[in-house]
Amino acid sequence: MAKKKPDLADFQYCGAGGGRAAKSFDLTQFDPSAKPFGSGDKARDKQTAADLALELDELQNLFWADKRFRLLVVLQGTDTSGKDGTIRGVFGQMSPLGVHTVGWKAPTEPERARDYLWRIHQQVPANGEVMIFNRSHYEDVLVPPVSGWITPAQTKQRYAQINDFERMLTETGTVIVKFLLHISKEEQRVRLQERLDDPTKHWKFALGDLDARKLWDTYQRAYSDAIAATGTPWAPWTIVPADSKTHRNLMIAQVMKKVFEAMKLRYPDSDPRLKNLKVV
Amino acid sequence: MAKKKPDLADFQYCGAGGGRAAKSFDLTQFDPSAKPFGSGDKARDKQTAADLALELDELQNLFWADKRFRLLVVLQGTDTSGKDGTIRGVFGQMSPLGVHTVGWKAPTEPERARDYLWRIHQQVPANGEVMIFNRSHYEDVLVPPVSGWITPAQTKQRYAQINDFERMLTETGTVIVKFLLHISKEEQRVRLQERLDDPTKHWKFALGDLDARKLWDTYQRAYSDAIAATGTPWAPWTIVPADSKTHRNLMIAQVMKKVFEAMKLRYPDSDPRLKNLKVV
């Protein structure tokens, strides 16, 4: 029996936020070590991903010129899931002129003194800009419920607020793409140990990371719940099997290419007054 | 027959934004020259308003110490409707420490490059703060539809986005109070003429003000529509008959006093460790 060819749609979830019944979602159904979009040849996949990164640079250049859209890329995932590596591997060829990254940390005092979307809204992309969120407002529906700082009812309220906020952004010209980098607990162990074994990587290590690791299953459940509630038609989630860094970059680059292509990007019309203009 | 005593609720509109049927709303049903909360004696009303402003200072002081709430006051109204005068007359006694004002102008280029709520969200009040919006995001559902820059469908979409945004703010601890300062076309004529007749007031005059005046009825309709669509249980509108400046201040001060009182403000509990502390 021929194996079904994998489709990106199989890894996208957009069943929430509408009047219709939500498609059920469970993160544990996805194998973190799978390589559904790989060729089976690692060197070849690496080359394909690198080629795609160059194509994305071209597309982003056109996107910057076109100025009709704004693009918000959300990267979520546990520690060591490869968010930094994705930014370098997939978006690293693009011009810093129109590509920006924000790494979201625990909120500061002035941030905690306002609603949790306040600081997020300040950083949304402008016309022609690509904004990459390294972590995001989704931390506000992961850490607080897992830590017991907010109730399940408050978490549900936040899901709805996030859906409203993201819908407004998309209605006003922002395209939102959300990736969950999905690694296994064993792969995280290997990567954390690598950091510990290499003193030049100790700056990436925080003792708190181990506390979150102790709550692995609880966090996986919190991710499942958040994706189930906020994977919407206007801002779907893509689940990226990410134990393999090469496959992770390959898959995300493919999604990004499709996102840009769907925009039917074009250079702006040139001003007709420029046509026969002579510079004297 | 005894005349019914006027109630503040008669001037509040909160019929929109819920699942239930909206109560109809028509701004023209309100008489701008009415003084429903006046005593009939202007000097006495002036004194009452001044006394209320002092009470509001006390209440705001407690509000600042309490820190459990954030307060957003929205002042809308045509040119010369008395927004600046309200800020001076009603909020002028409060400490600038916890009271801030933003006067919203036409959006700048970086503001126009993002959604219209982006700049608004940046200015929402922090814990314990009173933020007064002199004009607001409601300009974005007044000027653009009247000028034909956005379609009726887009205007309706903005109403829904504003309701979602304001609901999120109230769900996360912000109290929102919205005032429409309602003056007559004749009263505006008098006030504009006063500005023209006094060269020291020419800085307040823009020729564009006369263009908006030519569209008086269209703007009144746009105000009616916006209030009908965005007067919600979580962020109701209060219509303030504002031909009389004294009555305007008196009425707004009364509403503000009720708003503060409903919060059941209190000083924070003192730290028990301070109880027997000796400074040496």
Q: Which tens digits make up the pLDDT trace of B42-97?
A: 999 999 999 999 999 999 999 999 999 999 999 999 999 999 999 999 999 998 88
| Alpha carbon distance B139, B76 (integer Å) | 8
Which of A108, A112, A115 best tests the B interface by mutation, with the highest count of B CBs <10 A? Answer: A115
Instruction: Give the pLDDT of residue B199.
Output: 80
CB contact under 8 A, B172 and A115: yes
Beta strands in chain A (DSSP E): 12-13, 70-76, 99-103, 130-134, 174-182, 237-241
Higher pLDDT, B12 or B18: B12
Instruction: Give the pLDDT of residue A226.
Output: 96
Q: Which residue of A has its CA nearest to B115?
A: A172
Helix (H) or strand (E) holding A162: helix A152-171
Q: Are A72 and A91 in contact (CB under 8 A)?
A: no
- The pLDDT > 90 percentage for chain B reads 77
In sign, the C-alpha dihedral spanning B253, B256, B261, B267 is negative
- Residue-wise pLDDT for B254-272, tens only, equals 999 999 999 999 988 877 7
Asked if pLDDT for residue A136 goes beyond 60, the answer is: yes
Instruction: Give the pLDDT of residue B22.
Output: 54
Q: Rg of chain A over CA atoms, in angstroms? A: 20
The mean pLDDT value for B165-181 works out to 97
Q: Which residues of A touch B151 (CB under 8 A)?
A: none
Q: Which residue of B has its CA nearest to A67?
A: B113
CB contact under 8 A, B164 and A164: yes
The model's confidence at residue A99, banded by pLDDT at 50, 70 and 90, is very high
Instruction: Give the pLDDT of residue A21.
Output: 44
Instruction: Give the pLDDT of residue A47.
Output: 97
Of A70, A126, A168, nearest to B117 by CB-CB distance is A168
Q: Residue A72's beta-bridge partner residues?
A: A131, A176
Side chain identity at residue B112, one-letter code: R
Side chain identity at residue A198, one-letter code: D
A149: closest CA of chain B, how far (Å) = 14
Instruction: Give the pLDDT of residue B1.
Output: 45
| Alpha carbon distance A246, A2 (integer Å) | 25
pTM attached to this predicted model: 0.87
Q: How far does Cα B230 stand from its chain's mean position?
A: 13
Higher pLDDT, B5 or B230: B230
| Alpha carbon distance A113, A115 (integer Å) | 7
DSSP string, A77-113: -STTSSHHHHHHHHHTTS-TTTEEEEE--S--HHHHT
CB pairs under 8 A between A and B: 70
CB contact under 8 A, B113 and A121: no
Asked if pLDDT for residue B17 goes beyond 90, the answer is: no
The mean pLDDT value for B113-141 works out to 97
The model's confidence at residue B198, banded by pLDDT at 50, 70 and 90, is confident
CB contact under 8 A, A115 and B126: no
Q: Which of A36-45, A240-249, B195-204, B211-220 has the lowest mean pLDDT?
A: B195-204
Q: Which residues of A touch B70 (CB under 8 A)?
A: 113-114
Q: What is the CB neighbour count within 10 angstroms for residue B109? A: 8
Instruction: Give the pLDDT of residue A209.
Output: 79
Asked if pLDDT for residue B204 goes beyond 80, the answer is: no
Asked if pLDDT for residue B173 goes beyond 90, the answer is: yes
- B268 backbone dihedrals φ, ψ, rounded to 5°: -60, 150
Instruction: Give the pLDDT of residue A17.
Output: 72
Instruction: Give the pLDDT of residue B272.
Output: 74
The model's confidence at residue B21, banded by pLDDT at 50, 70 and 90, is very low
- Residue-wise pLDDT for A2-58, tens only, equals 567 788 888 999 888 765 545 678 899 999 999 999 999 999 999 999 999 999 999
- DSSP designation for A237: E
Q: Are B128 and B63 in contact (CB under 8 A)?
A: yes
Of B70, B110, B157, nearest to A126 by CB-CB distance is B110
